[in-house]
Amino acid sequence: MYLIPGQTNTQGDLHLKLAHTYRAATAFFLIYGGLFNFASASEANIPHSFSAGTPARAAEVNDNFNSVKAAVDDNNARISDNAAEIAANSSAISQMQEQQTHVYVVNPTSVNTAREPETAVDPSGIVSSTSRGSRVWAPLYLPQGAIVSDMDCMVVDYADPANFSGGFIRLIRYPVAVEGANLGAVYEALVDIPLETTGVDFTYQRLADSDGVVEHPEIDNSQYVYTIQYVIQRTEASSRLAVSHCRITYQH
């Protein structure tokens, strides 16, 4: 967002240029392997073999017993390791199952509400949106003591027919020294422009303040921060709205 100020001897015009787009936000849930890496049983290596009717040496018999014992002990250790792995994996699986309940399933119907706004500067100075709702703030600076007399904006809806209503563009101020206050509850509107374009197709229109009165017209930068607020709600997400050149007229 950026603002281009300009001023004559008695009157200044401030042009607001904004641009933002909407993209569907897609949730991804990734589970990767390595959970069930169980240790398999080892094989007993019997060093000596015996045939029926032949004598067996005690040392060879003991060697065979020792080999079997080593294999059994090794398998006991592996069983203990596997038991620990099972306990750990059970906990991990429970956590994944819990997380899965929070995964947003994206489908053609829900994409409309799973959108993510982005704001960006565009050389054309046009705000463009394709979702059912958008909200943008653009801070600005006006000269101390300036008297605001008007604000107007250019709007065009590229849908056929035009299909948006219920939005507004406001020049508002927030008190600087309200510590911990909810700014949404303490702002004051200087100019309030309703957005209605039913029946307006591919045509720029110039909007005016709803009641024709500029409230709190004198700019006081020591007490307030000023911004332009843009809010729009749509009847169809496929429509495309453009807003450009919100101009503030003031005497200074």
**In CATH, which of 2.60.120, 1.10.286, 2.60.40, 1.10.390 is domain 102-251?**
2.60.120
For residue 245, name the pLDDT band (cuts at 50, 70, 90).
confident
Select from 197, 189, 239, 248 the least CA-distant residue to 216: 189
Q: Where in the chain is the domain with CATH 2.60.120?
A: 102-251
Query: Which 3-state string (H, E, C) describes 139-177?
Result: EECCCCCCEEEEEEEEEEECCCCCCEEEEEEEEEEEECC
Q: State residue 219's pLDDT score.
A: 92
Residue-wise pLDDT tens digits, 173-186: 888 765 665 555 56
* Residue whose entry in the numeric block shows the structure tokens 């200087």: 190
Whole-number pLDDT of residue 37: 53
* Tens-digit pLDDT profile for residues 41-73: 667 778 878 777 777 788 888 888 888 888 888
**Average pLDDT for 27-54:** 59
In whole angstroms, give the CA distance from residue 114 to residue 106: 8
Cα–Cα nearest to 159, from 198, 131, 201? 201
Name residues whose C-beta falls within 8 Å of residue 101's C-beta, 6 or more positions apart in sequence: none
| Arithmetic mean of pLDDT, 161-190 | 69
Residue 210 pLDDT > 90: no
110 vs 96, higher pLDDT? 96
pLDDT of residue 64: 84
pLDDT at residue 66, rounded to an integer: 86
Q: Give strand pairing partners of 233.
A: 133
| pLDDT, position 206 | 66
Q: What is the pLDDT of residue 191?
A: 79
Contacts of 223 (CB under 8 A, 6+ apart): 175, 176, 177
Question: Which residues lie closer than 8 Å to 92 by C-beta, 6 or more apart?
Answer: 35
Q: For 142-155, how does the pLDDT look when each residue is reduced to its tens digit (9 = 90+)?
A: 899 999 988 877 77
Residue 218 is classified by DSSP as: B
Residue 236 has a pLDDT of: 52
